[in-house]
Amino acid sequence: MMENQQTLRGAIAYNDLVAAVGAGNVSRNPVELQAYLGDASFLGMVMPKHKLRIDMPDFIVFPETTEQTAEVLRLANVHKLPVTPYCGGAGVQGAAVPLYGGIVLDVKKMDKILAIDETNLTVTCQSGMIGQTLEWALNAKGYTYAHIPQSSYCSGIGGFLAGHSAGVLSTKYGKIASMVLGMEVVLPTGRVIRTRAVPQSAAGPNLNHLFIGSEGTLGVITEATLTIHPLPEVRQFRSYVFPDLHAAFEAARKIMRRGLVPGTLRISDLVESLEFYKQDGSFMTLSFDGFKELVDLQEREAMAIARAEGGKDLGPEPGERWWQHRFTSVYPKDQGTPLDMGRHTFNVGNVIETAGSFTYLEAIHQEMGEAVTRIPGTTFKAHFSHWYKTGGMMYPYVVNSGAASDEEMVDRYFELHRAAVGAVLRLGGTITHHHGVGLTLRGFMPREFGASFEALQTIKHALDPNNIMNPGKLGFEGR
């Protein structure tokens, strides 16, 4: 009886969805349903096979317009079906894994550039655009939006915004939050709202920030207006090796404090410096972009600071090589991608990235390294590649090869995160700088937010009373 009722409800929902977006935009194909069970995260890949609960989605829906998206959410609210927004599926924390079945709403058919405003330096596009497609279109007109994550080819605007992403040039151009002027969002009830695409405003709280980093839990982002820049005349690299990590950090701190604006500023710890760059010490690569005179001037100033901190000049070549390989250099070749790690071996790996102030970033590196390597079979190395006047971001590769079975790998994965994130929180850092929360870190959200987590939950309940949007994520309740 129960089963018959569910089948009947499923059929009604299917017919409603077909009426909303057309039969060609609703899939119940088992192969497609299976394909959307995971994302690029370790958990997304292993969960379907292991003890963590996950339900097969009922439908994959591909709306082509904001109106269709609104109708899908309205229906989902009526049928109380969970909705998981999905863009590139390249998230590494499992944020797009549809835990409780229902609808996976793939935004990739909303992939149009709506306007490029060359006078006011903005682009408006739909949220399903893959980042690199947008970048190519802008480059053809002499512009860049300067958001170049290593996942540029496989992630999209919706994912960048909902995941609060950072590109490799973020030290100069900022994270995605500082690039967005306005957004269009479909709320869980199906209501469409827009934030005003102006350079700045003092009219109350900025609602863009409610949806940036919301990981699909508060609505579906359908459009965004982002700032763009004329392509730089030149981009120049310079690399250094410092006697130790502390000296490299001091150089970074003084470069930022001096008001220099590097596009990239990457520092490797001693392990990564040796393994990746064959350098004994702490490797730093630095780039400036813009017009030649200003670039030369900044480079000269940075060089003087680096020298004063004991940096040996390695010239432009290592940085230029890194730039050429920026989309392929994510994982060291000997360790494979997380995909290989999960599939072919019992290696468990993740980048447990964080951000913290200059005062304790070095201590976070030290203590996280000690905490994770206490777990047998763990290796740890890190680089630091997004900088602010107030501190920086650490990007550690944590890999464990001590598990003896697939099940143990999942336990080991969480054990590593408990150790690493525990150290971060003790010292005052954040649980994530740009990879987001997803399934991996959701249990840490109450500690990250403290008393303000209740305020966040209140907003969630108010916007999404039936808890249809990506339930069980960001530390919110499941179903």
Ligand X SMILES: Cc1cc2nc3c(=O)[nH]c(=O)nc-3n(C[C@H](O)[C@H](O)[C@H](O)COP(=O)(O)OP(=O)(O)OC[C@H]3O[C@@H](n4cnc5c(N)ncnc54)[C@H](O)[C@@H]3O)c2cc1C
383 pairs with which residues across the strands? 268, 395
Stretch that binds ligand X, among 116-124, 153-161, 309-317, 420-428 (CB under 6 A): 153-161
Nearer to ligand X, 289 or 309 (CB): 289
Instruction: Out of 172, 435, 442, 460, point to the residue binding ligand X (CB under 6 A).
Output: 435
Residue 158 in the binding site for ligand X (CB under 6 A) = yes
Question: Around Cβ 199, how many Cβ atoms within 10 Å?
Answer: 9
Q: Which residue has the CB atom at the shortest distance from ligand X?
A: 159
At its nearest, how many Å lie between ligand X and the CB of residue 173? 13
Per-residue buried b or exposed e for 247-265, using 16+ beta carbons within 10 Å of the residue's own CB: bbbbbbbbbbeeebbbbbb
Mapped onto helix, strand or coil, the DSSP state of residue 20 is helix
Largest Cα–Cα separation, the chain: 78
Stretch that binds ligand X, among 145-153, 227-235, 251-259, 340-348 (CB under 6 A): 145-153
How are beta strands 234-242 and 312-315 bridged, if at all? antiparallel
Tell which positions 296-335 bind ligand X, by CB under 6 A: 330
Nearer to ligand X, 131 or 356 (CB): 131
Q: What is the 3-state secondary structure (H, E, C) of 273-336?
A: HHHHHCCCCEEEEEEEEECHHHHHHHHHHHHHHHHHCCCEEEECHHHHHHHHCCCCCCCCHHHC
Helix and strand counts by DSSP (H, E) for the chain: 17, 20
Residue 386 in the binding site for ligand X (CB under 6 A) = no
Tell which positions 108-137 bind ligand X, by CB under 6 A: 127
At its nearest, how many Å lie between ligand X and the CB of residue 69? 9
At its nearest, how many Å lie between ligand X and the CB of residue 99? 11
Stretch that binds ligand X, among 6-14, 236-244, 362-370, 429-437 (CB under 6 A): 429-437
Helices (H), 47-165: 66-79, 131-140, 157-163
At its nearest, how many Å lie between ligand X and the CB of residue 385? 9
Stretch that binds ligand X, among 71-79, 159-167, 362-370, 419-427 (CB under 6 A): 159-167
Nearer to ligand X, 25 or 298 (CB): 25
How are beta strands 122-126 and 103-106 bridged, if at all? unpaired
Give residue 465's identity as a one-letter amino acid code: P
235 pairs with which residues across the strands? 289
Tell which positions 29-48 bind ligand X, by CB under 6 A: 39-40
Residue 151 in the binding site for ligand X (CB under 6 A) = yes
Tell which positions 64-103 bind ligand X, by CB under 6 A: 84-92, 95-96
- Of 50, 23, 47, 25, nearest in space to 105 by CA: 25
Mapped onto helix, strand or coil, the DSSP state of residue 267 is strand
Nearer to ligand X, 70 or 314 (CB): 70
Residues lying near ligand X in the complex (CB under 6 A): 39-40, 84-92, 95-96, 107, 127, 149-151, 155-156, 158-160, 162-163, 165-166, 215-216, 220-221, 330, 434-436, 470
